[in-house]
Amino acid sequence: MGRIQLKQVKKSFGDVTVIPPLDLEIEDGEFVVFVGPSGCGKSTLLRLIAGLEDTTGGVIEIDGKDATSLPPAKRRLAMVFQSYALYPHMTVRKNIAFPMRMAGLDKAEQDKRIAAAAKALNLTDYLDRRPGQLSGGQRQRVAIGRAIVREPAAFLFDEPLSNLDAALRVGMRMEISELHKKLATTMVYVTHDQVEAMTMADKIVVLHAGVIEQVGSPLELYRAPRNKFVAGFIGSPK
Ligand code: ADP
Ligand code: MG
């Protein structure tokens, strides 16, 4: 389960409205990419879904239940941060176990989930290392592992690859797409990179100044961009 519905969701910071009322449906199992230029509100929208920001108006439903006022820990969503958010003094195993320890899961269940996550992410041989002894791509996979073990209804990624070099980024895109296939869990992925959006998404949401310009599959947006902004951003010939 991982259906997310935004109904007239709005966000202002003081007098400044960053996101005017907006509707959006994310289906269970979908890979949805929020794309748009820097400052258009992608992170804010993701943080509203995660519960890291309070909405100024509207309703957020997760699997049909009103989640608008739920704290992040109660939303069953896992935010994947950039790899530098790992604890440098803890082993990979302890980093991955951390959210489960906080949730009070018993040790046997923790070990089972760590083993499964490590297998899915090809980290089995690295569990006793510390983040400093890993490559950038491996560190990013540990950050994802920490999200997987919570068995979330959806994963939320905010530009997770932006501090990796170009070659690693290509590999990690494939890793994340592969993981989406394996888990079949909803993923909401924020990027300002058109290539990332076009290659990874089932559905792209193009944002411009907090407004959704268009929602569609990569091919739909490419073939039939609704306006110049979408065409320019997606790289359509129009
Ligand atoms: P993006 O992730 O697309 O680059 P953001 O969601 O970070 O964009 O920001 C959207 C707009 O909201 C920007 O104009 C930004 O300055 C503003 N903003 C974001 N967070 C805050 C905040 N905590 N207080 C005030 N303004 C903010
Ligand atoms: Mg951002």
Which ligand lies nearest the alpha carbon of 19? Answer: 1
Residue identifier of the C-alpha nearest atom 5 of ligand 1: 41
Task: Please work out whether the CB of residue 12 comes within 6 Å of at least one atom of ligand 1.
Answer: no
Q: Where do the DSSP E strands lie in 63-146?
A: 65-66, 77-80
CA distance 62 to 6: 9
Amino acid at the residue 113: R
Question: 10 Å Cβ neighbour count for 209?
Answer: 15
pLDDT given for residue 164 in this prediction: 82
The per-residue pLDDT for 176 is: 93
Which pLDDT tens digit goes with each residue over 181-208? 999 999 999 999 999 999 999 999 999 9
Low-confidence ranges of the chain (pLDDT < 50): none
Distance 104 CA to ligand 2 centre (A): 32
Closest CA to 199 of 217, 223, 185: 217
Shortest-distance atom of ligand 1 to CA 42: 3
Q: Is 13 in the pocket of ligand 1 (CB under 6 A)?
A: yes
Distance 39 CA to ligand 2 centre (A): 7
| For ligand 1, mutation pick of 10, 11, 13 (most atoms within 8 Å of CB) | 13
Identify the pLDDT of residue 1. Answer: 84
CB proximity list for 91: less than 8 A, separation 6 or greater: 127, 128, 129, 130
pLDDT at 187: 98
Q: Separation of 39 CA from ligand 1 center, angstroms?
A: 6
Distance CA 91, CA 128 (A): 5
Q: Give the C-alpha separation, 117 to 42, whole Å.
A: 28
235 lines ligand 1 (CB under 6 A): no
Residue 33, pLDDT score: 98
194 C-alpha to ligand 2 centroid (Å): 14
**Among 17, 18, 206, which is best to mutate for testing ligand 1, by the most ligand atoms less than 8 A from CB?**
18
- The answer, yes or no, to whether any atom of ligand 1 lies below 6 A from the CB of 41, is yes
How many angstroms separate the alpha carbon of residue 18 from the centre of ligand 2?
13
CB of 11 within 6 A of ligand 1: the answer is: no
Ligand positioned closest to the Cα atom of 160 = 2
At residue 83, the pLDDT reads 65
Can you give the pLDDT at residue 233? 83
CA distance 183 to 153: 11
Ligand closest to the CA atom of residue 35: 1
pLDDT, residue 75, reads 93
ipTM above 0.90, yes or no: yes
pLDDT at 237: 66
